[in-house]
Homo-oligomer: A and B are copies of this chain.
Amino acid sequence: MTELPPDLARMKDCSQCPIRHRAVCARCEPDELSRLEEIKYYRTFEAGQPILWAGDRMEFVASVVSGVAALTQTMEDGRRQMVGLLLPSDFAGRPGREIAKFDVTAVTKTTLCCFRRKPFEHLLETTPHVSQRLLEMALDELDAAREWMLLLGRKTAREKIASLLAIIARRASINGDTRGGNVEIDLPLTREAMSDYLGLTLETVSRQISALKKEGVIELQGKRRVMIPDMRTLMAEAGDDEDGGALL
């Protein structure tokens, strides 16, 4: 269930943490960090492992340190929709909530920086830097959710795929910048996870990826590595009006 990688010991010290400046702790002063350090612990989940089921009691909230996790919702008959994709520095869990509302699953091997929920909630009330940062992150997520709603409600299968590739390219491209040509990304998601994200079947996902490949919009190296010769072409296929939502 919980295997600590050998190098986690080093990370007791928040100042060495790779997500120190983007996570919920981003704005903390040294003394606030040390209060966080008191209630934190690391957990690692293998790809495919459940982190939390909807209905479970939530003992902790957490920051994703590395890896990718998914928030999903499942209907009685098995239809499934991803409703959150958690990348490093993203926050999981809702302060003030006892019972989880969504399933959380490790998509790739994932390490979480967990905070015991009750002490964290107390901390929210006493250290404004944490609650301010959490508000900011919640509003960012809300924006992302609204873009996602446009995708789910109005985009074609092809546009959905192009949008997802663009989103992943922007957040997780191998060389950070997504401006020029030759962006390369490692898809952290299986075809099935992509279909859960996009509200499609995995067959449709596969067909549309094949179509984009055939037309030269993307190139594949293996099933999971995607090369994007021209980001602008991909963005056009995504149907977004702006240059990638880079506006503030």
Contact = CB atoms under 8 A, between A and B. Distances in A.
Interface string A148-170: 11101110000000000000000
Contact of A199 (B75, B97, B99, B154): B154
B153 A199 contact: yes
Contacts of A97: 248
A98 B153 contact: no
A81 B139 contact: no
A148 B248 CA distance: 24
Interface in A86-100: 94-99
Interface stretch (A30-38, A109-117, A124-132, A185-193): A124-132
A76 interface: yes
A59 to B, nearest CB: 16
Contacts of A139: 94-96, 138
A164 B98 CA distance: 27
Contacts of A142: 138, 141-142, 145
Interface in A36-92: 71, 73, 75-76, 79-81, 83-84
A48 B123 CA distance: 44
B135 A134 contact: yes
B99 A247 contact: yes
A128 B134 CA distance: 13
Given A81-B154, A128-B128, A102 B138 contact: no
A81 B135 contact: no
B79 A154 contact: yes
A80 B149 contact: no
Contact of A75 (B95, B148, B241, B247): B241
Contacts of A141: 142
A115 to B, nearest CB: 16
24 contacts: A73-B146, A73-B147, A73-B149, A73-B150, A75-B150, A76-B239, A79-B154, A81-B150, A81-B153, A83-B150, A84-B146, A94-B143, A95-B139, A96-B136, A99-B248, A125-B128, A128-B131, A131-B132, A138-B138, A142-B145, A145-B145, A149-B152, A152-B153, A152-B199
Interface of A: 71, 73, 75-76, 79-81, 83-84, 94-99, 101-102, 124-125, 128, 131-132, 134-136, 138-139, 141-143, 145-150, 152-154, 198-199, 239, 241, 247-248
